[in-house]
Amino acid sequence: MTSFQSVEGLDVRLDDAGVLRLRLDRPEKRNAIDDVMMDGLIDALDAAGTDDGVRVVVVGGSGNDFCAGADIVARNTTASATPRRARTGSIQRRLPVQAHRLIPTVCSVQVPVVCAVRGWAAGIGFQLALAADITIAADDAQFWEPFSQRGFTPDSGATWLLPRRVGDVRARELLLLGRKLDGREAVAWGAIHRSVAEPELDAAVEAVVAQLASGPTVALGLTKWLLHTGSGLSLAEHLSNEAFAMELSSRSDDFREGLAAFKERREPRFEGQ
């Protein structure tokens, strides 16, 4: 099994149930993601994809907020907090190995990813919620794409994820007009999966996590892969992938357990193998 490591601003913990918990831990900055946290998230998710002990990943935040976006102030100051001018091409070099690597990894890692959102989910925080397999938010959470109000263009997959989740018209309202959505509106728009009263958030997330952590991990991971890749393929190509996934999943121990449980008229006891 992989030895998962916390980094400054990101608490990383794998529990005995196979739940990898990634907690953004800069509450004084509303959990804005700096470069160290970004690298830590990518490393943890990469490792989760190859660690047979991981059955589900949960991403949450410390304090009152999920994530206020990328910490661009920290990126453009020195240790003495003196503003510095970035070298030409800095953004073009950074994005492919940071935010533009993180979001595809969330989408493609072959274990379910759950996001728990309270307070602000802005910029890349919103994109994490969009990319996750299941996102549950507090009713009063605030989802916001701040780009047009800050004078720059969207990143971290916003212009790819939003049209696919909420449709092109609503994506334009969010990205061009900067409309904010609370948790209930985000559910109604199809951006996230469920919202609950804030005091109920942790319990609602843990119920979903427990279901996924006790599920057929191989089949769930391959189903996620099919959903992620299917929109860019022809029907024939996609059906070929379905046959491949069926071949793999039917060789798993969990498949055999599922058949046995069906024959014996009992609930299956999946081990994630």
Q: What is the pLDDT of residues 249-272, one digit of tens each?
A: 999 999 999 999 999 999 999 998
The percentage of residues in the chain with a pLDDT greater than 70, rounded to a whole number, is 89
Per-residue confidence band for 77, with pLDDT thresholds at 50, 70 and 90: low
Q: Say what the pTM is.
A: 0.90
CATH value of 217-264 in 1.10.12, 2.30.29, 2.60.40, 1.25.40: 1.10.12
pLDDT of residue 101: 87
Query: Of the ranges 21-30, 79-88, 109-118, 189-198, which one carries the lowest mean pLDDT score?
Result: 79-88
Q: What is the pLDDT of residues 46-74, one digit of tens each?
A: 999 999 999 999 999 999 999 999 886 55
Fold adopted by 10-213: 2-enoyl-CoA Hydratase; Chain A, domain 1 (3.90.226)
Indicate where the chain has its CATH 3.90.226.10 domain(s).
10-213
CA atoms within 13 A on the CB side of 157: 23
Indicate where the chain has its CATH 1.10.12 domain(s).
217-264
